[in-house]
Structure formats: structure tokens, C-alpha cells
Amino acid sequence: MPAISIKLDGPEDFTPIPEGAKVHHVTDAFEVALLLGGMQSGAPSVMFRIPLPDGSIAIVETSHALFDMAAKAMQGRLEYLASGGGVPS
């Protein structure tokens, strides 16, 4: 399963995109599914199905535990900012 690198301060924290890379910024609907027993261990996983403009489909899967951790980290960041915490410079 892919690891998740969590970026809490926006896409400017992303790993640089190689020059000339084909990038699709998908803003249309996509699907997400919970896969019970999706991991080799039998633990649940989460799968994203993202249609691309050229008609192909991107499938991304990770463990439910990592997905849940990412969601909780983002929620914590939003709560920190809402309480007056600042964005690091």
C-alpha cells in the first residue's frame, strides 16, 4: 500500500513536480470506497477511483488507518488555525 505524506500547509509543500510532467488537476467528482479486508493483514483499506480527462482511471489505495490518521491531522490543523494559531513561516 502507498504511504501518505501529509501536507498541512497547502500544495506548496508538495514534492516538486518534474518539469514536463503531465499533470491532471481533477475537479470533477471521484469515488472513494472502504474495502473491508483490503489489506493483506485483513485490515480495511480505502480506495480512490479518479477519472482522468483522457478517459483513463487512476486508482489509489491506502490503509484505512493511514487515511484516518491523515483526516485527523487535517482536522487538528484546522482547529489549531481556528483557535488563533498561525501558519509557520
Around Cβ 84, how many Cβ atoms within 10 Å?
A: 6
| Cβ pair 43, 63 in contact under 8 A | yes
In this prediction, residue 11 carries a pLDDT of 82
Instruction: Give the single-character DSSP code of 81.
Output: H
Question: What phi, psi does 78 have (nearest 5°)?
Answer: -65, -40
User: What is the DSSP code string of 11-42?
Assistant: GGGSPPPPTT-------S--EEEEETT-STTS
Flag whether 21 is in a domain.
no
Q: What is the pLDDT of residue 88?
A: 62
Per-residue pLDDT, 12: 82
Domain tally, the chain: 1
> Can you give the residue range of the structural domain that contains 41?
26-72
Residue 53 falls inside a structural domain: yes
In a domain, 43, yes or no: yes
Q: Is residue 54 part of a domain?
A: yes
Question: Could you tell me if residue 36 is inside a domain?
Answer: yes
**pLDDT mean by block of 10 residues, the chain; 89 residues:** 82 88 91 96 95 93 95 94 78
In a domain, 4, yes or no: no
Q: Is residue 44 part of a domain?
A: yes
